[in-house]
Structure 1
Amino acid sequence: MRRVGCLVLLVALATLALISVDFLHGWTAQGPLERPATIVVAEGSTLRGTARQLEKLGAIRSDGSFLRRARVLGSDAPIKAGEYVLPEGVSNRDILALLQSGKTVNHLVTIPEGMPSILVHERLMANKELTGTVPVPAEGSVLPDSYAYKKGETRAAVLARMQKAMSGYLAQAWAKRGKDIVVKTPEQAITLASIVEKETAIAAERPIVAGVYQNRLRTGMMLQADPTIIYPITKGKPLGRRIRRSEITAVNDYNTYAMTGLPKGPIANPGRTSIDAVLNPAATKALYFVADGKGGHIFANTLEEHNRNVRDWFKIRRARGEIE
């Protein structure tokens, strides 16, 4: 009888050991996922609800067994909202660790230098991975850059990061401004930087262009920047045609062909190099510049020299067949 009892005990212990081994093995063993998959954990999601998602996705064999193992063998840290990529064959243990880590997939939305706010708004609203709505941001309030976001994040949160980046960079750059610059406030700096941004795509030219405009402002000359003509018409979008004579002479708060001084406000969202150029412009006597036919500009100190450069530019355009 004693032998039978011992045998039963041994069988029970062996069975318990096998169950324990299987329990442990099921936690660390390769899972059933046959190819990488993505799971989105919404804000406020519970581990139980997420386990059901994991089972439907084929990442775990059973939500119940996953939860039991997680309670006994896993950390009690909460899972974090976001989008996660589950690798092929990921174990139950590694799934829980990933969901608790917050190592979510980051997507990027890029705002190029010189993009006007109306196009920033359109870019954010066209992004189907973001939620909610935002108004058109104030012109010049967004710092051009690439911004990471999580799937399902609000557009307002992403825009707030863009605007915080601009205010932070402007404060930093303003503190390092030159002593004799013509702009007197950070707001004026952004306005002039937006014009510099739209006038040249060559970063090395921006301090010189900023120097030209500083000279013009200081002497009371008109800035005569073509992009300021276009802004009231399209809010910064491409005009798609040549500027009309009536638009050149139009009187408004932006057209620097019909007013002295700075326009009412920015005409785009300038990048770091344009902001830096305005706050530390090149020391130059130039008052004029015109395209050089090679993608850049040629600068002149006098009107006579400038007119000669303009004639040379027209010769280049005629040779290209752009004008008669």
Structure 2
Amino acid sequence: MKWIIRLVVVLVIVALGAAGAAAWWLQQPLKLSGETVELSIEQGELPRDIAQGWVRAGVQAPRWALYEWFRWSGKAKRIRAGSYEIGAGTTPVTLLEKMVRGDETLATVRLIEGWTFRQFRAELAKADALKPTTAAMSDAQIMEALGQPGVAPEGRFYPDTYAYSKGSADLAVLKRALRAMRQRVDEAWAARAPDLPLRTPDEALTLASIVEKETGAAAERARIAAVFVNRLRIGMPLQTDPTVIYGLGEAFDGNLRKRDLQTDTPYNTYTRPGLPPTPIAMPGAASLRATVKPEASKALYFVARGDGSSEFSETLAEHNRAVNKYQRGR
């Protein structure tokens, strides 16, 4: 009987020692193979595989120890998918807490006002840790994947800085940008001036893209919008170079020639009246607001002064004088 009691005492001591050692280990900083260690956890990934993933990524601890801690804590099923980064001082306890909170490491990609969809795609393709799921897709296939079959992508994505979890798909960022632009256009359209010669939100988006490309000084957006709105009201061609350049596509070499202005394309607003068939770029919020609420102005022309601002004119004679002064130096 005495030996049984002694055995029990020994087992209890061993268990207490093991528990103490485990409690001590849980509070000790994990050794890392570098200054930081990163891991992306997929949705539905098993705790055993997560533990193995951390070890492979550079956490210098027994895989089984991490796994048993995740399991024993009762929080293993609460670990969230995402991208995580840990550094010096991270303990097994704080590692698990980070994953349970979903305290992810985020990357960002900035999409610029006035960019084309082609530029958007190029920026997404080189973004940090963003899965290029659309790399082999055509523009039409991307729009279909976004639930917009048959819709041209140009102008449909809101330019902004987007944060995302490392390992996210580029299509997810595009979906957010698409939703953001739709919301911005709807808000602008709801606040539009009552007498605009624009019939739909899409027409407002198209004109806003032209305003975006034509604006040199931010303070002039509403006046530039007024010029184009005034032209639309009287049936005057928009005669804007950016639409011609867009129509030339990759053939544009940086030099817009007279023959380019005279060659008819769906985007040549010198040869065709009204708006082009699609937007020509991604307008920002300021250009959308200026388009739906243009400045009260009778101007029909403007010419660059060479300092980023423009000279506005109500008549062709005034405009010609401005062109001579600012463009020809006469």
TM score, norm. by length of structure 2: 0.87
Contact 1:213 1:223 (8 Å CA) reproduced? yes
- Aligned partners of 1:254, 1:131: CA distance in 2, in Å? 30
Q: Comparing 199-208 with 239-248, which one deviates more in the overlay?
A: 239-248
Q: 1:170 aligns with which of 185, 199, 209?
A: 185
* 1:16 to 1:146, Cα distance in 2 relative to 1, 3 A: same
Query: Structure 1 pair 84/76, CA: closer, same or farther in 2 (3 Å)?
Result: closer
Paired AA for residue 39 in structure 1: L
Aligned to 1:144: 159
* CA–CA separation in structure 2 for the residues paired with 1:126 and 1:7: 67
User: 2: distance between equivalents of 1:238 and 1:206?
Assistant: 29
Please tell me whether residue 129 in structure 1 is matched to residue 130 in structure 2.
yes
Shift of 1:242: 2.1
**What is the match of residue 240 of structure 2?**
225
1:104 positional shift: 1.6
1:301 lines up with 2:304 in the alignment: no
Alpha carbons of structure 1 residues 204 and 214: separation in structure 2 relative to 1, 3 Å: same
CA contact (8 A) 1:59 1:90 kept: no
What corresponds to 2:150 in structure 1?
A: none
Q: RMSD of the alignment, in Å?
A: 2.3
Rounded to whole Å, the distance in 1 between the matches of 2:251 and 2:88 is 47
Give the deviation of 1:120 after TM superposition.
1.7
Distance 2:85 2:161 in 1: 22
Q: 1:265 to 1:7 in 2, by over 3 A?
A: closer
Distance 1:214 1:7 in 2: 96
Superposed CA deviations along residues 179-217 of structure 1, whole A, max 9, x for unmatched, are 111212101101111111111132211100001111111
CA distance in 2, matches of 1:197, 1:217: 17
CA separation of 1:265 and 1:54: change in aligned 2, threshold 3 A:
closer
Q: Distance in 2 between matches of 1:101 and 1:43?
A: 15
Per the alignment, residue 196 of structure 1 pairs with 211
**C-alpha distance 8-153 of structure 1, shift in aligned 2 (>3 A):** closer
- Out of 302, 312, 324, the position equivalent to 2:325 is 312
- For the residue of structure 2 that corresponds to 1:77, the secondary structure is helix
Deviation at residue 259 of structure 1 after TM alignment: 2.1
Distance of 1:68 and 1:252 partners within structure 2: 67
For residues 111 and 201 of structure 1, the distance between their equivalents in structure 2, rounded to whole angstroms, comes to 19
Contact 1:60–1:66 at 8 Å: present in 2 too? no
Q: Which moved more, 1:213-222 or 1:30-39?
A: 30-39
| TM-aligned CA deviation for residue 276 of structure 1 | 0.7
What SS is found at the alignment partner of 2:40?
strand
The residue that corresponds to 1:31 in the other structure is 30
Is there any run of 5+ residues in structure 1 with no aligned partner, and where? 319-324
| Residues 1:98 and 1:301: Cα distance change in structure 2 (over 3 Å) | same
- Amino acid of the structure 2 residue aligned with 1:307: N
Q: Deviations over 1:134-163 (max 9, x none)?
A: 432511111111112222222222211111
Work out the number of aligned pairs and report it.
314
CA distance in 2, matches of 1:84, 1:55: 14
> Cα 1:57–1:229, aligned 2, differ >3 Å: closer, same or farther?
closer
Q: Distance in 1 between matches of 2:224 and 2:263?
A: 24
Aligned-partner SS, 1:232: helix
Checking the alignment, whether the CA contact within 8 Å between 2:226 and 2:297 is kept in structure 1 is yes
Unaligned segments of structure 2, at least 5 residues: 144-152
Please name the residue that 2:77 is paired with: 77
Mapping of residues 206-221 of structure 1, within 5 Å? 206-221=221-236
Displacement of 1:174:
0.9
Task: Report the Cα distance in structure 2 between the residues aligned to 1:184 and 1:92, rounded to whole angstroms.
Answer: 61
User: 1:118 and 1:131 mapped to 2: Cα distance?
Assistant: 14
* Structure 2 counterpart of 1:260, from 248, 251, 273: 273
Question: Are 1:141 and 1:163, in contact at CA under 8 Å, matched by a contact in 2?
Answer: yes
Q: 2:292 aligns with which of 275, 279, 282?
A: 279
